[in-house]
Structure 1
């Protein structure tokens, strides 16, 4: 078993991890910098296992003392940061967002923020970057691990090292395999939840039972460098489209394990570098730095309508570093070392009382709906459009295969339509639903975010089905044939999918297969993408009594992004499919795409239509269905 002692190089490794996370979150490089969290997990598993086993063998371990130390180590700084974040939210956030912040704060104090963010958002998608406490998901994973893991070691305290390593190794392997399965079929849950992350912590735990190395110093130094390179390679080459954690997480985790192991007996030259005083100091502050950086970045983005210029990001990181030092010096250290002179029990109870105060404060904010009286009704209405969502359905392949897809429109309709596409297709369903009700048509919905409605086509994204897309899309076509659907409506963010060289052939083959089964096809062109979160821009302008009529995008901006993919769509659809162009209903006489008309917001973010915006397209779909019912084939609805 490795000798358990203070390791300055491990603090240096923490510094590497937190820097990678910060640069990634600030969009200043390292698109895979999120793997810094995985480095933290391995380190935590190593340190916690070593601490518990060492105390057990000395006959000094108790669960009460262990949890007391964890409480003093984790809660004071996190409670302080959450309180500051809630106070700042009063001044910076609109009521609906303030309520959401309070809900996340409540979950964080209950050690469930990973579950909260899994259920309510994603890590790489949507408006996640505007959530000030999103980063606390990783704290919840560790806290949950600290709750159950000591029980395992207590139950196995009389077991031999061989038995303990065998059982811990099996648990690690099972968690890893489940994680790999999960990234393919349940990526959101896999990213956030403990069962698919536990292997990273237990991998660190297994390190404690490795025998001292008999390798030569030169060999250890090479392995140490290889470990650091593995971490840096993952941080540099991974991105939001990398299926993660799963097997991909092995690279940074094994790299971390190599760094820890190779410096166990004697520091290599790389270990000495990690042990340099400035790096170690950064590692000592890494917890506070991790806590502070994300709320500052999230609030900066929020104030700038979702944008984060590099200068602002760097300023936020500098401020984070200053706050981290103050937090480490005056919050972390005093509570961790009990510099107050209180009895340990009293100190823990006091920390628990502060945590409960946060729970009460958060509950008050939630119950008051974020204190809506702070802003005008017009401002509320603009930001409320963020919630203008209907028919958002992440339909699973298994549901399609068994015929259990969501329906809309007229249940008694003899004609049938199927909406197939990504979240942009979901945003159109309110209009298609209204047209179906008017035209007595039954609608089916087969949609999944960031997944192109194209056969044998894969476009890697953070939120999509990725490699599982072909099976999903083939199931959609089979469903359409079995249900004798009259028309399939394809919609998606075509400009992104068109980046793939196979886009044109995939679209052609998709339309061809549907038409071969006597199913008509309509392709809906995409809407404009704005440079910012529209609801935030409008709400900020309204709160400052500024004009909102000129908020939107020019048609030139739309054309520069969509002209090429639209040309491909028109070419492929000619004589084979309908083409519907939303721009005819969403632009004004000046060819401008307004964000709102008569204070009605047309978009719920920068690129998805709101319900009200979608309903402006209803007449187009009514016309489409009328053409279908008159057996008018291959009509091009482009003006």
Structure 2
């Protein structure tokens, strides 16, 4: 994110940095209107690509390029500030983070300091998911992508230069841009997390910056042409910032909008433009790297304290970001860079290695810091309830890495008394069904993550084989039997989108047919028809029970409970009102009623067991009833045993 400006200072680049970092910061703080502010990172990539290509190519042309000096110049500007942030977070976490969170922070610091955190975050939740707001160094993924680019680009261009000089260098840049863009467009549909986090799918953005420098290095546009091109560029950038959101497939083809916008602004090369060269933007651009580094932990802190939607806290967070960014730039970024610059390359490399080693050892030590009394025991216990899940979850809940025909899980002993079919919500309550049937026999579980049991439903997330799994379920259960089928799925989330922060927040997760852009109304219409078809097909052979949607909390219950105990030193009731529940789930109730009447199925309602006095509880008697925001915990699901008990009497 920092880069190194060429000897001839370009005010347009510095101003464009300011636009990019402001967009990212306002997006992360949740300021209304900046839903596409994440595109600021793509602008940073274009800028970095231009600067790095300029440094490498001009060095090769003058026969003065040194890979060691090139990497040292990057490291002395980037690493000390990152190391300082990591150490500050470790100190903060010692006093405030439960063991689970503290150990995760240590793991993330290891990846961030080695500039491989993009691969770590790729293996975890998506960038726009609710869990992202619990990762103090999530933003380091972009630094890792850039660092990997810094490592590989000079090596590729040096080889190309030795092969056939300038022509080979240009060919290499064009080839990388083309292949990377094609991969990005493909992966954004098939593997969105890889497309977002990994270098092969991002390289085209950086190389495009290099290409615009190559094309314009000996060109000079007229003043009028420069103004028009610059305005067009900012028009595209603003279109991305204000027009896109977390549900926009990214990067892929949509990323062309901010990337092309940045290309046009850089090609215009206006050094006296009020859009980039005014004093305020000049200063923000200068400290943009420090601003970027320090802003995200403040965002996470607001989420941790439960104040991420509080306007006063948001304004305070933005002001603190500006203060820390300025202080960090003055006293860490610049001073360390100047100090390291006084040493020989070899000595400075050892100093940087010493910094890295200290940060890494400190981070690794967090894995062994489960020290009694570090935090109140009640906080640690509340945090641990995030793992109050079915012990056979990974074994029984199928996912995209598993075959849809893997053997079903059997819970309990004796003859099978029921088959539970659905998604992770079914897996979350399977032990309560098994407990209800314990006196009679066992229960079979057939579940697939993110896959509601509806014929023809295709999932945009988690369940790449959802349609095949549902067909397998129907084929397996389409034999006459008195053994009932219990259908449990997060139907509201599938049809209308998730209620928690997520790439599919209020956006349908499933679709029908080949139209992947179906609206919520289109999906609901098809869902009503297909659910009735599903229930009727099963009802021909077996008794069928439809379970109403479980209440969904607005927050991750164990984590919010633990953090409230940490901050407020008191227990906090977490709940939603029954009115709020009905506003969200009423259309699904209507569809279930229609299917039940048409097919002779029966409906099971969990609300009498989970709700009372107009409130659906997320906590009870000092325990979390959920292990996140919507999956019922092992403690909570026992409340549902009386609902299932009559099925086996």
* Alignment check: 8 A CA contact 2:83 2:355 kept: yes
The SS at the match of 2:136 is coil
Aligned to 2:183: 178
The SS at the match of 1:501 is helix
Q: Are 2:448 and 1:446 equivalent residues in the alignment?
A: yes
Deviations 1:347-390 (A, max 9, x none): 33223212211111111112224x45222332211111123334
The one of 225, 228, 233 equivalent to 1:227 is 233
* Alignment check: 8 A CA contact 2:176 2:204 kept: yes
Aligned length: 606
Deviations 1:112-165 (A, max 9, x none): 211122223321113211221111111111112222222111111232433322
* Alignment check: 8 A CA contact 2:553 2:630 kept: yes
Between the aligned partners of 1:416 and 1:182, the Cα distance in structure 2 is 40
Q: Are 2:195 and 1:194 equivalent residues in the alignment?
A: no
For residues 473 and 540 of structure 1, do their structure 2 counterparts lie closer, same or farther at Cα, with a shift above 3 Å needed?
A: closer
Q: Which range moves more in the overlay, 217-226 or 326-335? A: 217-226
The SS at the match of 1:209 is helix
Q: Which range moves more in the overlay, 116-125 or 56-65? A: 116-125
* Alignment check: 8 A CA contact 1:408 1:444 kept: no
The one of 112, 118, 130 equivalent to 2:116 is 112
* Alignment check: 8 A CA contact 1:395 1:405 kept: no
Between the aligned partners of 1:209 and 1:389, the Cα distance in structure 2 is 56
Aligned to 1:251: 257
Deviations 1:304-331 (A, max 9, x none): 2x74312211211111111111111111
The one of 286, 289, 302 equivalent to 2:288 is 286
Aligned to 1:637: none
The one of 527, 536, 556 equivalent to 1:506 is 527
Aligned to 1:465: 460
Aligned to 1:35: 39
Any unmatched runs of 5+ in structure 1?
459-463, 628-639
* Alignment check: 8 A CA contact 2:188 2:249 kept: yes
The SS at the match of 2:333 is helix
The one of 530, 534, 553 equivalent to 2:576 is 553
> Alignment RMSD, CA only?
3.0
Between the aligned partners of 1:431 and 1:232, the Cα distance in structure 2 is 51
For residues 544 and 210 of structure 1, do their structure 2 counterparts lie closer, same or farther at Cα, with a shift above 3 Å needed?
A: closer
Between the aligned partners of 1:549 and 1:123, the Cα distance in structure 2 is 29
Aligned to 1:19: 22
Between the aligned partners of 2:319 and 2:142, the Cα distance in structure 1 is 23
Between the aligned partners of 2:166 and 2:414, the Cα distance in structure 1 is 68
The SS at the match of 2:616 is strand
Aligned to 1:491: 489
TM-score calculated relative to the size of structure 2 = 0.85
Aligned-residue offset at 1:397: 6.1
For residues 156 and 546 of structure 1, do their structure 2 counterparts lie closer, same or farther at Cα, with a shift above 3 Å needed?
A: closer
Aligned to 1:273: 275
Q: Are 2:148 and 1:144 equivalent residues in the alignment?
A: yes
The SS at the match of 2:629 is coil
Between the aligned partners of 1:435 and 1:465, the Cα distance in structure 2 is 34
Aligned to 1:617: 640
Any unmatched runs of 5+ in structure 2?
1-5, 479-483, 497-505, 507-519
TM-score calculated relative to the size of structure 1 = 0.86
Between the aligned partners of 1:93 and 1:325, the Cα distance in structure 2 is 27
For residues 547 and 232 of structure 1, do their structure 2 counterparts lie closer, same or farther at Cα, with a shift above 3 Å needed?
A: same
* Alignment check: 8 A CA contact 2:145 2:198 kept: yes
Q: Are 2:209 and 1:204 equivalent residues in the alignment?
A: yes
Q: Which range moves more in the overlay, 532-541 or 249-258? A: 532-541
For residues 258 and 510 of structure 1, do their structure 2 counterparts lie closer, same or farther at Cα, with a shift above 3 Å needed?
A: same
Between the aligned partners of 2:415 and 2:214, the Cα distance in structure 1 is 67
Q: Are 2:266 and 1:242 equivalent residues in the alignment?
A: no
* Alignment check: 8 A CA contact 2:454 2:470 kept: no
The SS at the match of 1:120 is coil
Between the aligned partners of 1:209 and 1:406, the Cα distance in structure 2 is 59
* Alignment check: 8 A CA contact 1:83 1:358 kept: yes
Aligned to 2:514: none
For residues 398 and 103 of structure 1, do their structure 2 counterparts lie closer, same or farther at Cα, with a shift above 3 Å needed?
A: closer
Q: How does 1:203-602 map to 2 (within 5 A)?
A: 203-211=208-216, 212-213=218-219, 216-263=222-269, 267=270, 271-304=273-306, 307-338=308-339, 341-369=342-370, 371-390=371-390, 391=393, 395=398, 399=402, 403-404=405-406, 407-409=409-411, 417=419, 419-421=421-423, 423-432=424-433, 439-448=441-450, 453-455=453-455, 465=460, 472-484=465-477, 487=485, 489-494=487-492, 497-498=495-496, 500-502=520-522, 503-516=524-537, 518=540, 521-543=544-566, 548=571, 550-576=573-599, 577-588=601-612, 590-602=613-625
For residues 411 and 345 of structure 1, do their structure 2 counterparts lie closer, same or farther at Cα, with a shift above 3 Å needed?
A: farther
For residues 488 and 533 of structure 1, do their structure 2 counterparts lie closer, same or farther at Cα, with a shift above 3 Å needed?
A: closer
For residues 5 and 408 of structure 1, do their structure 2 counterparts lie closer, same or farther at Cα, with a shift above 3 Å needed?
A: farther
The one of 97, 101, 107 equivalent to 1:97 is 101
Q: Which range moves more in the overlay, 428-437 or 73-82? A: 428-437
Aligned to 2:57: 53
* Alignment check: 8 A CA contact 1:181 1:246 kept: yes
Aligned-residue offset at 1:528: 2.5
Between the aligned partners of 1:337 and 1:581, the Cα distance in structure 2 is 67
Aligned to 2:12: 9
Q: Which range moves more in the overlay, 192-201 or 133-142? A: 192-201
* Alignment check: 8 A CA contact 2:453 2:470 kept: no
Aligned to 1:70: 74
* Alignment check: 8 A CA contact 1:555 1:591 kept: yes
The SS at the match of 1:574 is helix
The SS at the match of 2:422 is strand
Aligned to 2:517: none
Between the aligned partners of 1:406 and 1:182, the Cα distance in structure 2 is 31
For residues 444 and 275 of structure 1, do their structure 2 counterparts lie closer, same or farther at Cα, with a shift above 3 Å needed?
A: same
Q: Which range moves more in the overlay, 324-333 or 612-621? A: 612-621
Between the aligned partners of 1:184 and 1:592, the Cα distance in structure 2 is 40
Aligned to 1:635: none
Between the aligned partners of 1:339 and 1:414, the Cα distance in structure 2 is 70
* Alignment check: 8 A CA contact 2:454 2:531 kept: yes
